[in-house]
Amino acid sequence: MLKFHLDYATDFMNAYKHRGFFGFLFLNHYSHDTHENLEWCDEDLLNFLINFDQEKSISNNTILIFMADHGPRFSNFRKSLKGFLRERNPFFSIYIPSLFKERYGEEIYSKFLSNTNKLLTPFDIHRTFLDFISLEKARSLSNLNDSRSISLFDEIDPNRTCKQAGIDLIW
């Protein structure tokens, strides 16, 4: 079933690669309630990523994001301290092609890279999406300025606390 979804995503990218596109594929079915069969997805996902990388007409012009809103929320493992912490730690990975650096400059790209392994929130990701749109339309970062979000194209303090990021203590 995952192959069907990934083939759809590939067909979608191929159909719109010369016009620009935004796609969102929500694949929670494979791991939301259990992780026992998740390894069945490995080969299909690996093949998708290999094909994505090899299809330069797509990978040279596409920002690809993989994310999860939380870690595992099931089994007795969740009752342990390690399980408690993993449940509250989402996954976020982003691929930005080299064309991005060429088009928008080394400074913006370097700031993005410097924010690896820093505390982020969904608000920061939203702000970054707004910057993607603004960069494409106006060749500049958005002028949105709020106290709750920081774009990944701005410097994020490596010592940012949950309180500073607006994250409740329970998380």
Q: Which residues contact 17 (CB under 8 A, 6 or more apart)?
A: 57, 58, 61, 62
Output the CA angle 73-79-82, nearest 5 degrees. 85
Note whether 31 and 42 are within 8 A (CB). no
Nearest CA to 20 among 100, 101, 136? 136
Which position has the token pair 């982020």? Answer: 120
Note whether 144 and 138 are within 8 A (CB). no
Per residue in 120-147, pLDDT tens?
988 999 999 999 989 888 888 888 777 7
Where is pLDDT greater, at 61 or 39?
A: 61
d(CA 62, CA 100): 9
Whether the predicted model's global pTM rises above the 0.85 cut: no
Note whether 63 and 132 are within 8 A (CB). yes
The phi, psi pair for 52, rounded to 5°, reads -60, -45
Where is pLDDT greater, at 98 or 78?
A: 98
Q: Is the pLDDT score of 26 beyond 80?
A: no
Note whether 118 and 152 are within 8 A (CB). no
Six-digit token string for 93:
């990975």
DSSP 37: T
